[in-house]
Chains A and B, each alone.
Chain A
Amino acid sequence: MAQEMIEGINPTRMELLKLKDREKLAVKGHSLLKEKRNALIMEFFNILERVKGSREDVEKTLKETYEDLTAAQIVMGDLAVKKAAMSVNESINIDIDSRSVMGVVVPLVDSEIKERNMVERGYGFLETSVKIDEAASKFEKSIKLIIELGEIEKTIILLAAEIESTKRRVNALEHIIVPRIENTVKYIEMRLEEMERENFVRLKMIKKTMEME
């Protein structure tokens, strides 16, 4: 079996000690990274529960919303709707914070979107129809859903990237680095033992020749 080793290592006791330290570190790092990976995947599953159907919800709501908007445009005309839209007050108050999941910074959105009645929105009643009220309230609802969806999707993307890189590191340690160090340690030990035996034989021979004289 061809075993991979670290190249260019002298079979000395010094190197052996150094390598043993490195092995200990690698094994420790491996178990830590494994724990990190497991925690990340757990978090990932939690998020997956939330994403289920969230995109469909947004798509459905938006479709209805666009229909209402078109209806308003038909009744009032493009320009009038635009004019009304210009005078709408700002309704959204979002606060983006971040939280850390095992060192991955993911956004935490705290959105506060007021469900307003038509007086609070800020356009005049004279030139507007009831259709525009419906469209506006639907849009408010959609914005809320969209922001939620954005938060979830962003979290998934960030977590996925971190999981992938952690996985790769765990695998590299488990399948390449640790076995390689183990093999090198074994090789050095064997070489040292061999050298010891050679020395022993040499000593015996010298002793024999000395006795012969």
Chain B
Amino acid sequence: MNSNIAVMADEDIVTGFMLGGIKEGHPVNDMDEAEKTLKELVKKDFSVIITTEKIGDALRKTINKVTNESALPMIIEIPDKTGSIRRESDPMSELIKRVIGVEMVK
């Protein structure tokens, strides 16, 4: 199976991950560019796409569409340099709560 990994984030983070050994780094500056790049990456069959939480929030619709369609690619959102966004409710524990019916983690 094709297994590639790509990073799409701001310039510094992309540089960092390339330093860590990921060849496909795609620096983006604004959200329009990010959306275009994301679509291209999905088309190119990357199996893991790492992006930042900020981009993730801005492109939530596109990401949901991609992730609902198939198991791959995995789009992983990481916090950027300013730290993670403190959300009112963590989407992950929200989901767990909905499925199990009671709060399990944290």
Contact = CB atoms under 8 A, between A and B. Distances in A.
A123 B17 CA distance: 14
A149 interface: yes
A199 B84 CA distance: 80
B21 A94 contact: no
Contact of B12 (A69, A86, A96): A69
B87 to A, nearest CB: 12
Contact of B99 (A90, A94, A105, A163): A163
A74 to B, nearest CB: 12
Interface string B17-51: 11111110100000000000000000000011010
Contacts of A81: 15, 19
Interface residues of A, number: 59
Contacts of B95: 156-157, 160
Give chain B's interface secondary structure class.
mixed
A160 B96 contact: yes
A5 interface: no
Contacts of A114: 21
B20 to A, nearest CB: 3
A142 B74 contact: no
B102 to A, nearest CB: 12
Nearest to A66: B81
B72 A91 contact: no
Given A160-B96, A160-B99, A150 B22 contact: no
A207 to B, nearest CB: 65
A97 interface: yes
Contact of B21 (A41, A66, A90, A95): A90
Interface centre among B13, B71, B84, B100 (most CB of A within 10 A): B71
Contacts of A151: 74
Contact of B22 (A90, A116, A132): A90
Interface string A99-120: 0000001110100011010000
Interface of B: 1, 3, 5, 12-13, 15-23, 25, 47-48, 50, 67, 71-72, 74-76, 78-79, 81, 83-84, 92, 95-96, 98-100, 104-105
